[in-house]
Structure 1
């Protein structure tokens, strides 16, 4: 695995929504480019100002609707722009020292993909899973979505295609890939693809979207570098929202076990889930951020979460739209900002920058009740301590070597930390 991911903190955005592109109505994959990608470039200084240095982009390739129904892996989506627009964005990111991760949708393609259209016309179906019924090819689809045609991951042609796509864009200057729906792809497929890509690009980083399963076994079999940490995300969300820090404590203990094999990609929000401020309430978002940036992992901030934006994902057509909104032209145009949440992001990202050893550090649960939690993450003689209270009464908790408050508010005395109702604090030892 390359060393650079240890020092990268990601800002994750969904490009089609971010730039205000049409998602369902009037989409023509072959339309003339609409040059919208410069909207993202206008936010790169915001990424740096937050203390982040990575840009995790959702789909940028030609597709029919939401970006995950790809019709051409080698062409920029016309709703975003063209090759020149993308090259300018990549150059602007490099000038600022910002790494770029692309979203690789390699489990399935859209029905309009030329290779699939050729199959429907009677051509070779080697790229796709399915069968012919009365002379017509009936494809397998992804999780019941008829518009998403499953690729055949046992086929040499599919391996060659994905290797070609990955290397083509790594040549153009990206730093790695988020592997969409990696949980639905056999590990053996990634084990055939990724070593071939690494032969040419040994510094590339690969993180798989895996929602559940045996993480270490998946990493070992697939050769992926990292996996998305949904269990920790769920533990943070429900531990806070349900007033059950025992669930979060258990998730942290399981998270620590993963660090012996790989460093997960950690998050509080992404393009597929309800925003954290809606999940736990705005006043408890800093508690969640404190956990994210003080436990091991490669953290990402979903664009807009730093402002305290709210949005609920719904299980219906268009149910993702609220969590994938259009952004204004520049950060200075944002009017709905929760300053306490923004300040907490800045302080905790700065803490993480000062202590890069947190990337793979283990966390001890010092004390836990339903509504209070003390965490101590340490390596050698360095330690970061988190004290949280989600109850409506003050709390006195063990200090666990805490010496200096670096974020939040608390009083230290007699080896105890005193927090107010719904209070939180992070300390250096």
Structure 2
């Protein structure tokens, strides 16, 4: 399996629509005639300025609360607007050359989903899995009713929903809670969708487990690389680059089979600027995710070093899913340095598209200092990370390299030829070799 050709150049700017436009939580909720979905299109130029090539949007379809309790997969959530607003979103993206990735919630539905209401009234209940005391739910959430993925009608339904929105202009699907859905279900659905849309891209939300086996059995193109996400922030916090090196070795094994979706933030986790104990290490995290193999995603607001802590309680996601201003100009006073760093590193990646499938190898490793080579047949970079109170100093010859050029870093000016590394305490550098 391989990604569609356009994915090699994909860098996603990801957002959670209901929070982004202030539609949830909101009391009272906005009405369709407010057309809040169009506010997202007003940010597309910002995404381009950042360097993104696609917009990964969270759930857009009619739901009861947070978007993941869908009641109608064919209707835009009325708190966001209507079909015309979706068409506007697609048209504005297309005019800028931006791809659009939709969020498909196909593991479960909300309690107001039409067929579930019929089942409760004594009608056909074959669309839903059975539990010990009635219908099965998703991870114990009473408002999320698990679909019966063995039922041919459910297979047909999901195929039709996917095709409906791809025909309307979407480029692919994030498959929510894909880890909870039998692989054989996706293996039935996706080939039928690809028959009409061979260039569509499908990424499954998978947290734990055997990523390679999941991709092979389900036929998804990619999965979310949560293993690496965890290793990035915890190795920086703990001063334990051995954990990161192990994760990157695993990541290399994944790249032999598929290209994972990489990230340091999304709508389900504490923001990286809040997760890291030392704010000087945010640059390290970003340098990592933008210099390794993968299809990177930047969560809206991270480029301005937004803070937000996810909590395990009702409403615990709200802090990481805030409302954004109507226009980017109203938020430009936030995080200029973080934004410029994102721009620079995304620009570096776009100039080296071979990074999409590049693999890493450790050249120097101890708990608090790490130097790795990332490369392919098309080129190579050296990345040096230092979270120690002492500088990282060594000649490139010690690493088996004659000379290089600094192309990014926390302390030294870029585009300077070097024959040795001199990375400041809690600094980092990227060297073209």
Q: What stretches of structure 2 of length at least 5 have no aligned partner?
A: none
C-alpha displacement at 1:25, in angstroms? 4.7
Aligned counterpart, 1:368: 365
1:339-361 deviations in Å (ceiling 9; x for gaps): 32222111110110000001001
Preserved contact between residue 24 and residue 66 of structure 1 (Cα < 8 Å): no
Write out aligned runs for 1:339-418 (5 A): 339-380=336-377, 382-397=379-394, 399=396, 400=399, 401=401, 403-408=404-409, 409-410=411-412, 415-418=419-422
Q: How many angstroms does 1:123 deviate by?
A: 0.7
Number of aligned residues = 423
Specify the alignment match of 2:260 in structure 1: 264
Once the two structures are superposed, residues 302-336 of structure 1 have per-residue CA deviations (whole angstroms, 9 ceiling, x without a partner) of 00000011111000000000000000111111155
Q: Secondary structure at the match of 2:34?
A: coil
Query: Aligned in 2, Cα 1:32/1:337: closer, same or farther, shift over 3 Å?
Result: closer
Does residue 428 of structure 1 match 2:422?
Answer: no
Match of 1:150 in 2: 146
Deviation digits for residues 93-139 of structure 1 (CA, Å, limit 9, x no counterpart): 00100000000000000001111011111110111011697xxxx21
Q: What residue in structure 2 maps to residue 309 of structure 1?
A: 306
**What is the aligned partner in structure 2 of residue 166 from structure 1?**
162
> Which of the residues 274, 279, 284 maps onto 1:278?
274
The answer to whether residue 43 in structure 2 is matched with residue 4 in structure 1 is: no
Once the two structures are TM-superposed, the CA of residue 22 in structure 1 deviates from its matched residue by 3.0
1:156, 1:179 → 2: CA distance? 19
- Asked whether the equivalents of residues 311 and 317 of structure 2 are also in contact (C-alpha less than 8 Å), the reply is yes
Q: Which residue of 2 aligns with 1:48?
A: 48
User: Structure 1, residues 69-107: CA drift from partner, whole Å, max 9, x if none?
Assistant: 000000000111100011001000001000000000000
Asked if structure 2 preserves the Cα contact closer than 8 Å seen for 1:111 and 1:117, the reply is yes
Contact between 1:344 and 1:407, CA under 8 Å: does it hold in 2?
Answer: no
Instruction: Structure 1: give runs of 5+ residues left out of the alignment.
Output: none
Q: Which moved more, 1:385-394 or 1:143-152?
A: 385-394
Equivalent pair of 2:354/2:378 in contact (CA under 8 Å): no
Deviates more, 1:222-231 or 1:395-404: 395-404
Residue 250 of structure 1 is matched in structure 2 by 246
- Partners of 1:21 and 1:125 in 2: how far apart? 32
